[in-house]
């Protein structure tokens, strides 16, 4: 966020880089929002924990195994295990479709098509896009905090 001054009062301009700031955030980073030496908002880390249901249909939050993954998106991206579990979830979902179709008496070639697809379909998480959206949310949140502060200060 850039704060431009006019004679009467500060004027916030969202998501515009000032001329002195010629860099853009890296796609794997989240820059804090700092204006006039004041950090309005920053994120230290983003971690994920993913659990899948077991064959009994229940989540087991106490057990770490093939149905569990944890990863870090920020500050250092380590999401391979999360990607693995998300891929497993997509495969299980497609196999469940095939099972439902079989129960409903669908044509066997269509059922086999789903089962074959389950082996090759992957869940492609766009982690860089998520970080870009989070950076945008940081700016929006900081702007909201700034606006609230400005309203309070001007009373």
> Which tokens in the block code for residue 68?
């569990």
Look at 151 and 11; give whichever has higher pLDDT: 151
Q: Which residues contact 103 (CB under 8 A, 6 or more apart)?
A: none
If you count them, how many residues does the chain have?
Answer: 155
In this predicted model, what pLDDT tens digit does every residue of 13-33 receive, in sequence order? 333 333 333 344 445 678 888
| Token pair 């089962």: residue | 115
In this predicted model, what pLDDT tens digit does every residue of 104-124 receive, in sequence order? 999 999 999 989 988 888 888
CA-based nearest residue to 85, from 61, 56, 51, 119: 51
Looking at residue 8, what is its pLDDT? 35
Looking at residue 6, what is its pLDDT? 31
| Phi, psi (degrees; rounded to nearest 5) at 25 | -60, 140
Looking at residue 126, what is its pLDDT? 92
CA atoms within 13 A on the CB side of 136: 6
* pLDDT for residue 93 is more than 50: yes
CA 84 to centroid of chain Cα atoms: 16
Query: Residue 100: pLDDT band by 50, 70, 90 thresholds?
Result: very high
* pLDDT for residue 97 is more than 50: yes
| Token pair 């900081």: residue | 142
Looking at residue 15, what is its pLDDT? 36
26 vs 16: CA distance, rounded Å: 16
Q: Which residues contact 64 (CB under 8 A, 6 or more apart)?
A: none
40 vs 143: CA distance, rounded Å: 9
User: Per-residue pLDDT averaged across 117-138, rounded?
Assistant: 90
Alpha-carbon separation of residue 105 from 68, 100, 101, 109 (angstroms):
33, 9, 6, 11
CB contact burial 1-16 (16+ within 10 A = b; e otherwise) = bbbeeeeeeeeeeeee
Looking at residue 70, what is its pLDDT? 95
């Amino acid at each position: 966020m850039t704060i431009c001054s006019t004679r009467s009062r500060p004027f916030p301009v969202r998501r515009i880089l000032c001329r002195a700031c010629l860099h853009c955030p890296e796609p794997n980073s989240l820059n804090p929002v700092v204006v006039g030496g004041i950090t309005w908002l920053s994120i230290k880390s983003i971690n994920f924990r993913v659990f899948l249901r077991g064959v009994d249909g229940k989540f087991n939050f106490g057990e770490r195994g093939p149905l569990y993954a944890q990863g870090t998106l920020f500050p250092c991206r380590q999401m391979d295990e999360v990607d693995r579990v998300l891929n497993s979830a997509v495969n299980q979902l497609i196999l469940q479709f095939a099972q439902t179709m079989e129960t409903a008496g669908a044509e066997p070639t269509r059922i086999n098509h789903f089962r074959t697809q389950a082996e090759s379909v992957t869940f492609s998480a766009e982690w860089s896009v998520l970080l870009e959206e989070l950076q945008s949310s940081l700016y929006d949140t900081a702007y909201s905090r700034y606006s609230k502060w400005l309203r309070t200060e001007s009373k």
